[in-house]
Amino acid sequence: MAESLSLVLEKAQVLLKDGKYEEARDLLKETLDQKPDDPLVYRLYGNTFAYTGFLGKARKIWSDALKKFPENVDLLYNIGLAYYLLSDFYKAKIYWKRALKHSPEDPEIYFNLGQLAKDEGNLNLAIKLWEKALSFNPENVETMNNIGVAYSSKEMYGKAASWFKKAVEKDPDYALGHFNLATALFERGELEIAEKHAEKAATLDPTTHSEAVDELMKKITLRKSQIKEEAAEINEEEHLEENEKKVKEVQLHEPG
């Protein structure tokens, strides 16, 4: 049965990947009727409902399976995710923390706990949790981006920019990282570099970022124009002051 179960699970995962949820569901239900001692069957069976919008049904399947496999991290994680998607942050946190006890170096759990902290308005905690996630998965540019977004929300654009830079250095094709970096640099007044990253974001992912980049470029153009006007006003004031100084000097040297 072990070999046949392995083949069933492999086929079910392919069906899920291809979006054939009903076929996968029938296959897994038939397998469950044979009472297999494998939590993956239950998890995938619940997935067939979760992917089609029936989160309550999926959560019940996973919760029932958890009675048989109380330390299974994937089941705990999925139940937590279901509660999170249903905006029940309290219960989501409970299940994710239980999962973390059995898998204390799981970056995905830390990542999601960070997202939950952000949703609750606790940006400092979110940053700490994402930094923890990054310590176990230092290649994850989404985590770097999230830390940058948190600092942007705190209007700490220097720190935000440094995290966005890390993300695009790690993955030069990360369009969202380029756009967020452009926005942070704009806030810091680094307009020329902001333009370059905005253009990069639009080039890499025009469908997602084209409209937002257009708006940002308008702001950059306006800010450049304002800077020129301010500079011109300063030059004019300095010129007037210089002329006034010269007039006074001439008046002082006029014969009496």
Query: Could you tell me the CA-to-CA distances from 52 to 47, 101, 115 in Å, in that order?
Result: 8, 30, 23
Percent of the chain with pLDDT over 90: 84
| Amino acid 232: pLDDT | 75
Averaged pLDDT, 155-181: 98
Structure confidence by residue, pLDDT tens digits, 39-59? 999 999 999 999 999 999 999
Quote the CA–CA distance of 175 and 181 in Å, as a whole number.
Answer: 10
Q: Which of 35-39, 132-136, 164-168, 250-254 has the lowest mean pLDDT?
A: 250-254
Q: Which of 5-9, 176-180, 188-192, 201-205 has the lowest mean pLDDT?
A: 5-9
Give yes or no for a contact between 199 and 221, defined as CB atoms under 8 angstroms apart. Answer: no
pTM: 0.84
Quote the CA–CA distance of 125 and 146 in Å, as a whole number.
Answer: 12
Tally of residues, the chain? 256
DSSP class of residue 174?
-
User: What are the structural domains of the chain?
Assistant: 1-84 (1.25.40.10)
Structure confidence by residue, pLDDT tens digits, 56-103? 999 999 999 999 999 999 999 999 999 999 999 999 999 999 999 999
pLDDT band of 1, cuts 50, 70, 90 = very low
* Tokens describing residue 63: 């919760």
Q: Is 138 helix (H, G, I), strand (E, B) or coil?
A: coil
DSSP class of residue 16?
H
Q: Is the pLDDT of residue 235 over 90?
A: no
Average pLDDT of the chain, as a whole number = 92
Averaged pLDDT, 24-28: 96
| Amino acid 2: pLDDT | 47
Torsions phi, psi for 191 (to 5 deg): -70, -40
Structure confidence by residue, pLDDT tens digits, 142-162? 999 999 999 999 999 999 999
Torsions phi, psi for 27 (to 5 deg): -65, -45
Residue the block writes with tokens 């030069």: 172
